[in-house]
């Protein structure tokens, strides 16, 4: 990690440490940035005695949870730092006395100027991926955990961020041919479901709404593996495509159960099993938390391949950036 990132994270963590009481952690963002928050919120949920929730920014603004106040910590994120809802949510949270920490690729952006503790992240450059949004956020979360309830596990987690660049790159390579196969086999599909749970729900949601719906105009829905059996599974048929993610965190059983059922009735299953990831020398008790970040990076390769075979670049939009809305 870069020195600037470490310093920005440290400043935010010191501010968390200085709070006498914390009633809640709010993770607030939109779309892909909100999805990014989900693995982080999962870590907090599993490890922290203070509850945490994820809100899409405009729901947060208008719902305005009454519990939000001076005892709250709000963590927000926007790539360019210009998403109006995320900026406004951060401004409102700060006005209500909450501690605000925000991540943005764009230094000096509206979000950067609105928040108390801005944190920069790199993006898409061919550089060290441990400086990207997901890893920076994991670093922030494990540093916060280590501050409010010190534990050698969290110290190891903070240090493990450095291992992620090699892990991401190894798995991008490992899944390159499978991604191409996916792109070729699924290029004609009009709908592709995704399914996941736990820390991997976020990347699977992001793939469904950003990569498939937004960037490929392919219908989708990210089904929670636990919810699958309470309605959505009736849609399963031999010709209905599912991308199923099996995580290696605490909810793996849910994914395994959904996969086991789904493969009996659908001939079009693409399985991303985090147990097959090359996690290098990542500590056993931390693998689950970091594997969910790898899910997102691997899935990105599947989207690239699909876009290529469909002749529909991921950069093409019909509404976004092209009109007011």
d(Cα 115, Cα 112) in Å, to the nearest integer?
A: 6
The CB-of-257 to its own copies minimum distance in angstroms stands at 8
The binder of its own copies chosen from 88, 155, 181, 227 (CB under 8 A):
227
The CB-of-64 to its own copies minimum distance in angstroms stands at 7
Does the footprint of its own copies cover residue 213 (CB under 8 A)?
Answer: yes
| Contact positions with its own copies (CB under 8 A) in 8-37 | 23-24, 30-32, 34
Sequence-distant (6+) residues with CB within 8 A of 185 are none
207-214: long-range pairs with CB below 8 Å, 24+: 207/243, 207/296, 207/299, 207/302, 207/303, 209/31, 209/32, 209/35, 210/31, 210/32, 210/35, 211/299, 211/300, 211/303, 211/306, 211/314, 212/303, 214/31, 214/317, 214/320
The CB-of-263 to its own copies minimum distance in angstroms stands at 12
The CB-of-239 to its own copies minimum distance in angstroms stands at 12
Does the footprint of its own copies cover residue 59 (CB under 8 A)?
Answer: yes
> Which letter does DSSP use for residue 82 in this model?
-
Does the footprint of its own copies cover residue 318 (CB under 8 A)?
Answer: yes
Strand order of the β-sheet with 269-273 is 222-224, 193-196, 242-246, 269-273
* Choice between 4 and 237, CB closer to its own copies: 237
Contact criterion met (CB below 8 Å) for 219 and 190:
yes
d(Cα 72, Cα 60) in Å, to the nearest integer?
A: 14
How many residues of this chain bind its own copies (CB under 8 A)? 67
Pairing of strands 193-196, 117-120: unpaired
* Choice between 132 and 224, CB closer to its own copies: 224
| Contact positions with its own copies (CB under 8 A) in 74-113 | 83, 85
Strand order of the β-sheet with 117-120 is 52-56, 24-29, 72-77, 99-104, 117-120
- The contact mask relative to its own copies for 245-274 (x = CB under 8 A, - = no) is -----xx-xx--x---x---x---------
| Contact positions with its own copies (CB under 8 A) in 129-148 | none
d(Cα 51, Cα 26) in Å, to the nearest integer?
A: 9
The CB-of-166 to its own copies minimum distance in angstroms stands at 29
CA distances from 244 to 59, 207, 228, 272 (A): 28, 12, 11, 6
* Choice between 4 and 313, CB closer to its own copies: 313
| Contact positions with its own copies (CB under 8 A) in 145-204 | 191, 197-198
Q: Which residue stretch of 56-64, 116-124, 129-137, 152-160 sits at the interface with its own copies (rule: CB under 8 A)?
A: 56-64
The binder of its own copies chosen from 7, 14, 17, 51 (CB under 8 A):
51
The residues that touch its own copies, with contacts defined as CB under 8 A, are 23-24, 30-32, 34, 42, 45-51, 53, 56-59, 62-67, 69, 83, 85, 191, 197-198, 208-210, 213-215, 217-221, 223-224, 226-227, 229-237, 250-251, 253-254, 257, 261, 265, 317-320, 325
């Amino acid at each position: 990690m870069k020195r600037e990132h470490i310093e920005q994270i440290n400043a935010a963590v010191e501010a968390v440490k200085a709070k006498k009481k914390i009633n809640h952690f709010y993770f607030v963002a939109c779309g892909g940035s909100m999805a990014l928050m989900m693995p982080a919120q999962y870590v907090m949920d599993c490890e922290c005695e203070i509850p945490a929730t994820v809100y899409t920014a405009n729901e947060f603004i208008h719902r305005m949870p009454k519990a939000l106040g001076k005892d709250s910590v709000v963590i927000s994120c926007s790539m360019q730092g210009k998403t109006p809802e995320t900026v406004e949510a951060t401004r409102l949270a700060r006005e209500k006395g909450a501690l605000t920490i925000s991540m943005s690729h764009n230094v000096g952006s509206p979000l950067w100027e609105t928040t108390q503790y801005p944190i920069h992240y790199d993006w898409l450059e061919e550089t060290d991926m441990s400086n990207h949004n997901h890893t920076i956020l994991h670093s922030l979360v494990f540093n916060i955990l280590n501050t409010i309830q010190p534990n050698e596990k969290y110290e190891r987690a903070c240090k493990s961020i450095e291992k992620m660049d090699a892990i991401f790159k190894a798995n991008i390579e490992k899944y390159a041919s499978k991604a191409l196969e996916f792109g070729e086999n699924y290029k004609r599909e009009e709908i592709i479901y995704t399914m996941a749970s736990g820390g991997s729900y976020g990347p699977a949601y992001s793939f469904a709404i950003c990569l498939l719906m937004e960037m490929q105009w392919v219908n989708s829905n990210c089904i929670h593996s636990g919810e699958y059996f309470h309605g959505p599974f009736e849609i399963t048929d031999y010709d209905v495509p599912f991308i199923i993610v099996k995580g290696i965190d605490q909810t793996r059983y849910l994914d395994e159960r959904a996969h086991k059922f789904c493969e009996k009735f659908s001939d079009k299953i693409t399985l991303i099993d985090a147990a097959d990831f090359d996690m290098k020398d990542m500590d056993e008790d931390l693998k689950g938390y970091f594997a969910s970040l790898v899910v997102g990076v691997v899935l990105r390769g599947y989207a690239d391949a699909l876009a290529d075979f469909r002749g529909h670049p991921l950069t093409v939009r019909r509404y976004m950036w092209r009109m007011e809305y």
